[in-house]
Amino acid sequence: MLEQPPPRAILRACLGGMLPLDDKSRIGHRVSAAYFARAVHDEELRTEAREGIPKLAAFFANLLRQAQDRGEIAADRDPDTEAMLLISLADGLTAYTLLDVQTPERAEELLDQHLGRLFTPADDSPERP
């Protein structure tokens, strides 16, 4: 039986896959941007998003709960909130990468920095003022 990768690795792969990191994925994300613009004015497309995004968020939240159970994320983090924040982070990084505000490499660095902060158990968290 194959061992499942740790939750952080799965999240990183999923989130990295959501970013436009090469020419092929940039084309796909431009199509997605056009779909998004149309969905703003099309109830049927908005319904698809309203149904699809929560499924992705639930998948991410489940991975975050697994990480909490493993002691990799502080117990006081809300997995549902963190899941939506991760999706929003990927969406924002995608937009700024497509607009050439940042490079694909920088988008990955920012993603990795955020995951590093998220995957810090409470006992190891830096003290805040």
pLDDT in tens, 51-78: 889 999 999 999 999 999 999 999 999 9
pTM: 0.86
Burial of 55 (0-12, 13-18, 19+ CB in 10 A): exposed
Q: Are the C-beta atoms of residues 104 and 97 closer than 8 Å to each other?
A: yes
- pLDDT tens readout for residues 17-26: 999 999 999 9
Is-contact 8 82, C-beta < 8 A?
no
CATH number of 7-119: 1.10.357.10
Which one, of 26, 45, 49, 12, lies nearest residue 98 by Cα? 26
pLDDT band at 126 (very low <50, low <70, confident <90, very high): very low
